Amino acid sequence: MSMNSFGHLFRVTTWGESHGPALGATIDGCPPEVPLTEEMLQVWLDKRRPGQNRNTTQRQEADQVRILSGVFEGKTTGTPIQLMIENTDQRSKDYGEIAETFRPGHADITYHLKYGNRDYRGGGRSSARETAARVAAGGVARAAIEAMAPGLEIKGYMTRMGEMEIDRAALDLGEIDNNPFWIPQDATTAQAWEDYLTKIRKDKNSVGAEIEVIARGVPAGIGAPVYAKLDTDLAAAMMSINAVKGVEIGEGMAAAELKGTDNADEIFMGNDGRPVYSSNHAGGILGGIATGQDLVVRFAVKPTSSILSPRASIRKDGSATEVVTKGRHDPCVGIRAVPVGEAMMACVILDHMLLHRGQVGENRSSIG
């Protein structure tokens, strides 16, 4: 019933504040005998790490992850895995001035209203730094998935940033790692996005983003019919990421505009004895259970609320003030949400693979 945990059998609890000594993830329920090293996790953390280009906060963090427990002789033991990332670059002075003020659009005021206090250094628990722990946990999930379902692939990419939207006709997943936005588009498009974001930043502004995460090779049958639906858990996982305001599965909100004849994916028998579908409006999920098609999840990230443009607000004493958030902030925090979304997808998929194995066992039923 923890407020800072997610997952049923593969259970992740993140802890830590932006400017405390460290943050991390406590992972319970990981299968034993899974090959795991700090290097394997670092790959994903480096992808999320800030300070890599001028479109992400200039805060310099090594984001070195340490495995403190649960791994012995290079393999998971089945006991809790503790992942710790120490905070090295903590220039608190940047933030001191906002200790008394609530930043509009930020969690400052709600933390104060709930707890009567808050760690105001860099947003404390509400900082995007919390997502580093998710990415590390996602790395563990990926390792376990690789051991259980080799070939299962998870890929995330941006599909929109403010006025910029990808051209799905020109979608090329091979390009994702070739540009700082992780967009599946060519270099010319990437440059256009770069120019757009540069202008946003120079205007002392920020912008929102839409991220899509897909999973290929997901075993048909994982998921559950009602409250632990695969789409329910995916929606919760994505919505739990800072600044996310919307989540879609398959057609998503557009399903409201469709007719039944358009929406229902027709079913045919594949040559390999597995069903194939005429389309994937469902995003790989029917009745909360995976069909075996690609899982398709999208989510929207609001623009960073910490901006250099002045906004009206109040202080803890109720007096009016104007806030200009200095410090180091992402003009588009959505960029770094891509590896976070991938990590959440990995955790949810592994969790449901374990849940399915627990209730139903390893032999899945088939058709024909």
* Interaction residues for a second copy, span 326-345 (CB under 8 A): 334
Tell whether residue 82 is a contact of a second copy (CB under 8 A). Answer: yes
List residues bridging with 155 in a β-sheet: 214
Q: Is 287 left (phi over 0), alpha (psi -120 to 50) or beta?
A: left
Tell whether residue 96 is a contact of a second copy (CB under 8 A). Answer: no
Residue placing its CB nearer to a second copy in the complex, 100 or 174: 100
* Spatial distance between the Cα atoms of 306 and 124, rounded to a whole number of angstroms: 14
Residue placing its CB nearer to a second copy in the complex, 171 or 228: 228
Q: Are strands 209-216 and 164-165 parallel, antiparallel or unpaired?
A: unpaired
Give residues with Cβ within 8 angstroms of 162, minimum separation 6. Answer: 196, 200, 207, 208, 209, 303, 332
DSSP state, residue 101:
B
Contact 26, 13 (CB under 8 A): yes
Binding mask 170-199 for a second copy (x = CB under 8 A): ------------------------------
Tell whether residue 302 is a contact of a second copy (CB under 8 A). Answer: yes
Nearest to 343 by CA among 177, 145, 81: 145
Tell whether residue 205 is a contact of a second copy (CB under 8 A). Answer: yes
- Among 53, 239, 324, 326, the residue binding a second copy under the rule CB under 8 A is 239
Tell whether residue 360 is a contact of a second copy (CB under 8 A). Answer: yes
* Spatial distance between the Cα atoms of 325 and 312, rounded to a whole number of angstroms: 12
Tell whether residue 104 is a contact of a second copy (CB under 8 A). Answer: yes
Contact 119, 125 (CB under 8 A): yes
Choices 8-16, 38-46, 48-56, 177-185 (CB under 8 A): range interacting with a second copy: 8-16
Output the smallest distance, CB 337 to a second copy, in A: 11
Choices 40-48, 54-62, 173-181, 232-240 (CB under 8 A): range interacting with a second copy: 232-240
